[in-house]
Chain A
Amino acid sequence: MKQTLTEKIISNHAGRKVKAGDIVFADVDRAFVQDGTGPLTVKVIKEMGKGLNRPERKYFFLDHASPSSKSELSDAHKVLRDFTSSTGAVLSDVGKGICHQIVAEQYALPGELIVGADSHTCTAGGIGAFASGFGSTDIAFAMATGKLWLKVPPSIKVTLTGKLPERVSAKDLILTLIGRISASGATYRALEFTGEGVENLSVESRLTVCNMVIEAGAKNGVMPADDRVSEYIERERGCKVDFERLRADEEAEYESEITIDLDNLEPVAAAPHSVDNIKKLDDLEKENIKVDQVFIGTCTGGRIEDLEAAARILEGKKINPSVRFAVCPASEKVFMDALEKGLIRIFTESGGFIVTPGCGPCVGIQGGVMGKGEVCLSTANRNFKGRMGCPESDIYLASPQAAAASALEGKIVSPLNAG
């Protein structure tokens, strides 16, 4: 039986060779929650009458309300701090960063099976893991038993060729793909990326792409791990790791196939209020859309390469005075790297401000909540109505390069024409 990469990883965790459609109870390597989903997981674990299986591989991230802006949220944080200290699970406290960024930086390994109570858990597919998001109760089950039931997904093969042009980013790649297959085009499916185009993507870019496969409904997105992944792990964690170079079989069965030539990609944006409402930035520029806020951050747009790309456009320039410009490094590590590279100074001198590492503005909790009739250009992954705290505001999603160029102009522009 020839297998896809997703089938191979799940097989290694199910104790038998599986194919799409099989239902298995798979061994879970790592499981995590965040402060929005975690308190419910803790409650369910207690009600199940169970403890934690291998607590040192269970993670509790305080990232959504980072730092807490309301006393109810501080109470929720206390629940998680108390639970981790009594069980020996890993606590990642306020200010350390977004769960998906830290899982990629510090923990995930190629070939692992990782589950999290957050829909963007699929991010770690960029490291070469099977990673998927679930609700609080499923994660309670995984944390208590070390297993979770899964239906093995059929895979869609996405072959990438070529290389991203200057000022075109991984965000343009994934937005273009979602625009092509729609917001439900991969529901219940795995998106398996392959080809020389993957090898040409940095690990940061791979994480950005895999992060957003959920916006097409996918269960997971996965890219084969290579030398770039081992270099990334060594750089971020300061140690070398060995891992098996799992690859899909050549004659594996795919439900459908898509090819994207990176050389021909153009800067695009997702216009309100759905992630598959994709427009060319060249066309949007003609519409003269004024922006009130530009936001660079999140688990899909706040990594060091995102901040570097934006800073290259902003260096020595001032943003339009009508724009609020928020920059939120995805983790403490990204923040420290940005400090060392002088990026924080560039953002601040250009007129921007720095938000504590975490999810804040993207989920409308704090750090950049929108007001009525306002427009935000964001490097985040969702532009749903109300996402940033106000259902009467508009969110456009685009690359960090587009965000920087638009902050300078005070309106939505293509990074190829401005900055």
Chain B
Amino acid sequence: MKKQLKGKVHKFGNNISTDLICPGKYFHLRSDIKKLAGHTLEDADPEFIKKVQPGDFVVAGENFGCGSSREHAPLIIKESGVGAVLAGSFARIFFRNAVNIGLPVMELDTSGMESGDELLIDAESGKVKNLSKNTELTATPLTGVMKDILEAGGLKEYVRKGL
């Protein structure tokens, strides 16, 4: 995982479900993550996938990733080039899945962030600088086994390393 992340904000609202992130109508594409990633967040913002640049951030309000347990939701966000997801809060399964597959997820107050803002994130300290608004916030740090898993690069690597 990269220590310093820099990119632009793509802002979403509250209760962004895994159906909005990874629509069920593309169920048949789940074995082809690259193709499925072409539909990332399509039902929340059909233009997102055209706008997103490598290293950009998905930023949302409360309860991001609610609903289905499909791990394809964080997988295609990662595949679309997103550097991290920032939200006021996350649904439990999405948060765990993201850590397991090595997609950085950060919980903090996102109310002051807007689409187009440029952020500089220090992954280790959890510090998030909004370069456009000249503000700084710190995300709730990961602890315990979740921190070990993310540091190993995901659950697969954690198992492989015999942790």
The A interface, classified by DSSP as helix, strand, loop or mixed, is loop
User: Which residues of B have CB within 8 Å of A389?
Assistant: 24-25
Taking the complex as formed, is B133 at the interface, i.e. its CB lies under 8 A from any CB of chain A?
no
State the interface size on chain B (CB cutoff 8 A).
38
Q: Are A39 and B30 in contact (CB under 8 A)?
A: yes
Taking the complex as formed, is A183 at the interface, i.e. its CB lies under 8 A from any CB of chain B?
yes
The docked-state distance in angstroms from the alpha carbon of A387 to that of B15 is: 14
Known: A137-B101, A137-B155, A138-B100. A73 touches B67 (CB 8 A): no
Taking the complex as formed, is A196 at the interface, i.e. its CB lies under 8 A from any CB of chain B?
no
User: Which residues of B have CB within 8 Å of A69?
Assistant: 28
User: Which residues of A have CB within 8 Å of B101?
Assistant: 137
Taking the complex as formed, is B51 at the interface, i.e. its CB lies under 8 A from any CB of chain A?
no
The docked-state distance in angstroms from the alpha carbon of A144 to that of B156 is: 11
Q: Are A119 and B68 in contact (CB under 8 A)?
A: yes
State the interface size on chain A (CB cutoff 8 A).
53
Taking the complex as formed, is A240 at the interface, i.e. its CB lies under 8 A from any CB of chain B?
no
Q: Are B96 and A135 in contact (CB under 8 A)?
A: yes
Q: Are B19 and A135 in contact (CB under 8 A)?
A: no
Identify the stretch in B78-86, B87-95, B115-123, B134-142 within 8 Å (CB) of chain A at 4 or more residues: B87-95
A76, A134, A145, A391: the one contacting B30 at CB < 8 Å is A76
Q: Which B115-163 residues have C-beta < 8 A from chain A? A: 144-145, 154-156, 159-160
Interface centre among B100, B155, B159, by most chain A C-beta atoms within 10 angstroms, is B159
Identify the stretch in B3-11, B52-60, B69-77 within 8 Å (CB) of chain A at 4 or more residues: B69-77
The docked-state distance in angstroms from the alpha carbon of A133 to that of B100 is: 14
Known: A187-B63, A217-B92, A386-B43. A36 touches B145 (CB 8 A): no
Q: Are A217 and B69 in contact (CB under 8 A)?
A: no
A36, A217, A385: the one contacting B27 at CB < 8 Å is A36
A48, A72, A183: the one contacting B15 at CB < 8 Å is A183
Q: Are B20 and A184 in contact (CB under 8 A)?
A: no
Q: Are B70 and A386 in contact (CB under 8 A)?
A: no
**Nearest Cβ in chain B — how far from A19, in angstroms?**
15
**Nearest Cβ in chain A — how far from B43, in angstroms?**
4
Q: Are B89 and A184 in contact (CB under 8 A)?
A: yes
Q: Are B29 and A72 in contact (CB under 8 A)?
A: yes
B20, B71, B91: the one contacting A187 at CB < 8 Å is B91
Contact with B along A107-144 (1 / 0, CB 8 A): 00000000001110100000000000111111011001
Q: Which A45-94 residues have C-beta < 8 A from chain B? A: 47-50, 64-65, 69-70, 72-73, 75-76, 79
Please name the residue on chain A nearest to B23 by beta carbon: A386
User: Which residues of B have CB within 8 Å of A149?
Assistant: 145
User: Which residues of B have CB within 8 Å of A37?
Assistant: 69-71
B31, B69, B154: the one contacting A133 at CB < 8 Å is B69
Q: Are A117 and B69 in contact (CB under 8 A)?
A: yes
The docked-state distance in angstroms from the alpha carbon of A73 to that of B32 is: 11
User: Which residues of B have CB within 8 Å of A23?
Assistant: 144-145
Please name the residue on chain B nearest to A387 by beta carbon: B19
Known: A23-B144, A50-B159, A141-B159. A135 touches B31 (CB 8 A): no
Q: Are B160 and A135 in contact (CB under 8 A)?
A: no
B25, B91, B154: the one contacting A217 at CB < 8 Å is B91
Q: Are A364 and B93 in contact (CB under 8 A)?
A: no
B27, B67, B97: the one contacting A64 at CB < 8 Å is B27
Taking the complex as formed, is A188 at the interface, i.e. its CB lies under 8 A from any CB of chain B?
yes
Q: Are A391 and B63 in contact (CB under 8 A)?
A: no
Known: A37-B71, A135-B96. A274 touches B15 (CB 8 A): yes
Q: Which B1-54 residues have C-beta < 8 A from chain A? A: 15, 17, 19-20, 23-25, 27-32, 43
Taking the complex as formed, is B106 at the interface, i.e. its CB lies under 8 A from any CB of chain A?
no
Q: Are B67 and A382 in contact (CB under 8 A)?
A: yes
Q: Are A118 and B63 in contact (CB under 8 A)?
A: no
**Nearest Cβ in chain B — how far from A385, in angstroms?**
6
**Nearest Cβ in chain A — how far from B63, in angstroms?**
4
Q: Are B30 and A40 in contact (CB under 8 A)?
A: yes
User: Which residues of B have CB within 8 Å of A136?
Assistant: 71
| Contacts from A to B (Cβ < 8 Å) | 23, 36-37, 39-40, 44, 47-50, 64-65, 69-70, 72-73, 75-76, 79, 117-119, 121, 133-138, 140-141, 144-145, 149, 183-184, 187-188, 217, 219, 274, 363-365, 369, 382, 384-387, 389-391
Q: 5 interchain pairs (CB within 8 A)? A: A48-B159, A65-B28, A136-B71, A183-B15, A364-B23
